[in-house]
Amino acid sequence: MYKAHAEVTDDPPSSSPTTPLYICTHPDFSFHRPTHHQLIDLSPPAPLDDMVAGGCNLELTFGVSVHRMWKAAACEDHVMYPKIVPEYFASVELIGDGEAGSTKIFRFTPAAKPLSFVKDHVEVLDHASHTLRYKTIEGGYVGLTLKSITFEYRYEALSDDACAVKIKMEYDTLDDKPVGGEEVAKMKEGTARLLKAVEGYLLANPVSVNNFQPWPWGPRGLVRVRMIGDLSGGGGRLETAGASVGSTEEVDRCFFRKGASRLSVR
């Protein structure tokens, strides 16, 4: 029977001049019979990259319905931002259909220095709960002070004409230092400024980004709808396309509710 023993040498090999090595002569070590002493390196593992995890929250209120704000700021931000904030957005590239799994690349003007672009990957776009979550995979503050950052937006109705947006940012820094208060304030301020710009545009253009969502062709009662003017004020009208391509249907009766997402025709 073999007897295992171990000893510590004070004179380790020159390849590891500062790390003591345990020498094990058990013949079954590593499930094979060694032909020489097996060296076991017990030096501590290499340290992981130093970084600090952190986050912040922000809540904003807007005088616009949750449906319009959700569609403009969450679903169509790649369309809205270059239109309403051209001094900061030079161009936008959408990879995908805009739903979860898509990637959006926002390219900035020199006014946004030191930022030149940001590449965001949409992880969640839940139209039922009005929840958006995306991760910046390149650009922005990633590579400058952050290793990664994820944003989550939750849109909640406060009334027919008001909503709240609750924002959560979670990040990992590049080094072992937390993000400074000034930089966090800049991230919050930039986010708030964009959403306030969307609100201002929607208030100034009540017809743009209306409460009706296009609805696919379907069985009885479901039609494509385009709202012209302010329907709630009595001066607008609805253009509808029936199930037969190229035909139109007169709306005999519809249940209109401000903020509705579909039109029921009977």
Q: What is the pLDDT of residues 180-202, one digit of tens each?
A: 777 788 889 999 999 999 999 99
Tell me the average pLDDT across 255-262. 37
> pLDDT-derived band of residue 114, with 50, 70 and 90 as boundaries?
confident
The pLDDT, as a whole number, for residue 186 is 85
> pLDDT-derived band of residue 210, with 50, 70 and 90 as boundaries?
low
Q: Kindly report the three-state secondary structure assignment for every residue of 138-205.
A: EECCECCCEEEEEEEEEEEEEECCEEEEEEEEEEEECCCCCCCHHHHHHHHHHHHHHHHHHHHHHHHC
- Let me know if residue 113 belongs to a domain: yes
Residue 106: which domain range? 53-204
Tell me the average pLDDT across 216-236. 43
Q: How many angstroms separate the CA atoms of 198 and 62, rounded?
A: 10
Q: Are 59 and 191 in a shared domain?
A: yes
Tell me the average pLDDT across 45-68. 77
Q: Are 185 and 166 in a shared domain?
A: yes
- Tokens 């903020």: give the residue: 259
State the DSSP code for 237: E
159, 183, 204 - which closes a domain: 204
- Let me know if residue 253 belongs to a domain: yes
Sign of CA dihedral 57, 63, 64, 66: positive
- Let me know if residue 46 belongs to a domain: no
